[in-house]
Amino acid sequence: MWYFTEIADWWEGKRKETDAILDRWVEDSGYSQGAMIIAATTKALTTFGAGFVDILRLGDGIRAGTLKGAGVDTLRFVAIFPFGKAAKTLKSVRGVKRAKVIIDIPGPHCFWVASAKALTQIILI
């Protein structure tokens, strides 16, 4: 886990180095509009990428042993954990359990009626 921190540190170092090079390039160009547009676009892309690379630091906050560090790691975890898919899966599992109860209804009910009721319960829940 902390091996990935080294990768994130390397990325951050390269990003800062790139920012310094772009700043010098814009100054050397006499603040031309083209150079500023290219530099701003490049800086925006590297900053955007840094947000993804920060996920590689998952576990560093807890290792720091502070409440703030644990909070930061929680946010990193939330960024990568598919909560929507987990909730949908849980909802399906709950629906399947309810469908089983409907299918197992005793009495002279037709299998197709019970299946239709079960399917309706799964879809509407």
- Note the pLDDT tens digit of each residue in 77-101: 877 777 666 666 666 666 555 555 5
* Least confident span in 51-55, 86-90, 121-125: 121-125
Distance CA 40, CA 31 (A): 12
pTM value? Answer: 0.58
Closest CA to 53 of 111, 21, 14: 14
CA 46 to CA 40: how far, in whole Å?
10
Q: Does the structure show a pLDDT above 60 at 1?
A: no
Domain ranges, ordered by start, for the chain: 2-81, 84-124
Share of the chain above pLDDT 90, in %: 32
Average pLDDT over residues 36-40: 95
Residues 6+ apart with CB under 8 A from 35: 25, 26, 29
